Amino acid sequence: ARRLAGDRAGRVGLRGISQGGWVAPLAAAQAPVDFIIVGYGLAVSPLEENRAQTVLNVAEAGFDAEAQRKAGLLADAAGEVIASGFRSGFAELNDLKRQWRKEPWFAHAKGEFTGDLARYPEAALRLMGPRRDKGTTWRHDPLPPLRALDVPVLWVLAGADRDAPPEATRALLTTLQAEGEAITLAEFPDTDHGMAEFIQTADGTRTETRQTEGYYALMSDFALGRPLGQGRYGRAVVAFPGAAP
């Protein structure tokens, strides 16, 4: 892009959305950029993403802390199977399925893949699972690539994100800010994946209404190197580099 643009190119950066939050920091190590923007991405592994989603599914269905704990263990067991390429980990997963499949929370434990692995028998998973493998690095650790960056980062979270629950990512990025990393963290409350505002019915069903105000203006100002300000981007709460945890 720099070569094609020539003198027309000013600041050139990478924008990674959702799973691009894993990819953009890795790409920045291979191609020089001036900034990185991540939208509703995660600073935890794909396995941790699935676990967080699974637990959130059970919590939002109204089940207590014990059910959520069990859902997390089920997600961990499913993660061992998928990370092995469907070659091992079935003994633990099958045992948990036998114990808990009749409990009312079980059907709600879906996650990114927990529900699929809980639904099908071992023989079917061993046969079909490898065919669906896209080469995902399930245990990818996003922190080393983030710590290796030497360019400013804007990380935008959706506060009510069901696909990428933000709690663990928020905590890790806040820690990196306190360590001196050049990360600006912005969070839009009451928004789901894609930075979408929504209406939620009593049964938890969400209907998206619009993309939240200020999202594109925030990214544009950051990309252009303009100073960011609190209260200028809709309802976004912005935490600047060096913020205390």
Residues 17 and 90 placed together within one structural domain of the fold: no
Residue partners of 20: CB distance under 8 A and separation at least 6: 38, 39, 41
Number of structural domains found in the chain: 2
Residue 28 lies in a domain: yes
pLDDT band (50, 70, 90) for residue 243: low
Same domain, 108 and 173: no
106 and 146 within one domain: no
Beta-bridged to residue 85, according to DSSP, are none
Measured in whole angstroms, the distance separating CA 238 from the mean position of its chain's CA atoms is 19
Asked if 189 and 78 sit in the same domain, the reply is no
Measured CA to CA, the distance from residue 53 to residue 36 in angstroms comes to: 26
On whether residue 244 sits in a domain, the answer given is: no
Instruction: Write the DSSP symbol of residue 156.
Output: E
Where is the domain boundary, 74, 102, 132? Answer: 132
Whether 202 is covered by a domain: the verdict is yes
**Overall pTM > 0.75:** yes
The long-range contacts involving 211-216, CB below 8 angstroms and separated by at least 24 positions, are 212/188, 214/188, 215/39, 215/156, 215/188
Q: In this structure, are 6 and 53 located in the same domain?
A: no
How many angstroms separate the CA atoms of 238 and 243, rounded? Answer: 10
7-33 confidence digits (pLDDT tens): 998 999 999 999 999 999 999 999 889
- pLDDT given for residue 245 in this prediction: 42
Q: Is residue 137 part of a domain?
A: no
The residue to which tokens 């509703």 are assigned: 40
Whole-angstrom distance, CA of residue 183 vs CA of residue 56: 27
69 and 31 co-located in one domain: no
pLDDT in tens, 92-137: 999 999 999 999 999 999 999 999 999 999 999 999 999 888 889 9
Task: Give the whole-angstrom CA distance, residue 51 versus residue 46.
Answer: 9
DSSP assignment of 160-219: T-SSS--HHHHHHHHHHHHTT--EEEEEETT-BTTTEEEEE-TTS-EEEEEEPTTHHHHH
pLDDT digits (tens, 9 = 90+) for 160-176: 999 999 999 999 999 99
d(CA 24, CA 223): 15
Among candidate residues 132, 164, 180, the one where a domain is terminated: 132
Domain boundary among 79, 101, 132: 132
CA distance 76 to 224: 42
**Domain limits at 86?**
46-132
